[in-house]
Amino acid sequence: MKTAILVIDMQHGLYDDVPRPHEAEEVIRRINALTERARAAGVPVVFIQHENAVDLEFDSERWQLAGALHVDTRDTKIRKTTPDSFLRTPLEAWLSGQGVRRVVICGYSSEFCVDTTTRRAAALAYDEVVLAADAHTSHDKPHATGAQIRAHHNATLSDISSFGVPIRAIASADIVLGD
């Protein structure tokens, strides 16, 4: 089954500002390790970047990918304006054109764009949706820490069966890549 890695919103203005999200350095390392393994296995990597007119203007410094993120010239970049990486973007058509039937999702922010994109991928009936359980993150919020938010989404998303598509939260190092 052809797989693609979706790296969501790992941008300077969302990720690098202080205070940084939960396990910021570790998450970047895990994403870099996952995308390097993917490229070595011939699995495409897609970086999805959020934009808005307020603080993430297209091509501004804050819109750029986080400084420590490893990006390759073979990687695809897709712009978005909502938490849903598929809504009004070319992502679905691009994945279809590549023959992708399994998506692995990681990035920022667990409770917004990662959650929404994971649910949408399941709703679009990909054969399998994998959440890189330790390679998505969020900032601490008044109601929960970034660690609690990540744990909650790993458990909640993996428990959804109504889409008819398995959503599995798997540690990034344990995700099997290759077709």
- Contacts with 7 (C-beta within 8 Å, 6 or more apart), sequence order: 31, 35, 45, 46, 47, 48, 69, 106, 107
DSSP H or E stretch at residue 83: none
**Domain covering 3-174 assigned CATH 3.30.300.30 in the classification:** no
Task: Give pLDDT tens digits for 37-75.
Answer: 999 999 999 999 999 999 999 999 999 999 999 999 999
From edge to edge, which strands make up the β-sheet containing 167-170?
76-80, 45-50, 3-8, 102-108, 128-137, 167-170
Task: Give pLDDT tens digits for 69-84.
Answer: 999 999 999 999 999 9
Q: What is the pLDDT of residue 32?
A: 98
d(CA 152, CA 156): 6
178: pLDDT strictly greater than 90: no
Q: What is the pTM of this model?
A: 0.97
Task: Give pLDDT tens digits for 121-175.
Answer: 999 999 999 999 999 999 999 999 999 999 999 999 999 999 999 999 999 999 9
Task: Give pLDDT tens digits for 82-123.
Answer: 999 999 999 999 999 999 999 999 999 999 999 999 999 999
Could you tell me the residue ranges of all domains in the chain?
3-174
d(CA 64, CA 11): 5
- Does residue 50 sit in helix, strand or coil? strand
Q: What is the pLDDT of residue 1?
A: 80
Q: What is the pLDDT of residue 25?
A: 97
Q: What is the pLDDT of residue 179?
A: 53
Rounded to 10°, the helix 115-123/146-158 angle is: 10
Which of these, 64, 85, 87, 94, lies nearest to 4 by C-alpha position?
94
Q: What is the pLDDT of residue 30?
A: 98
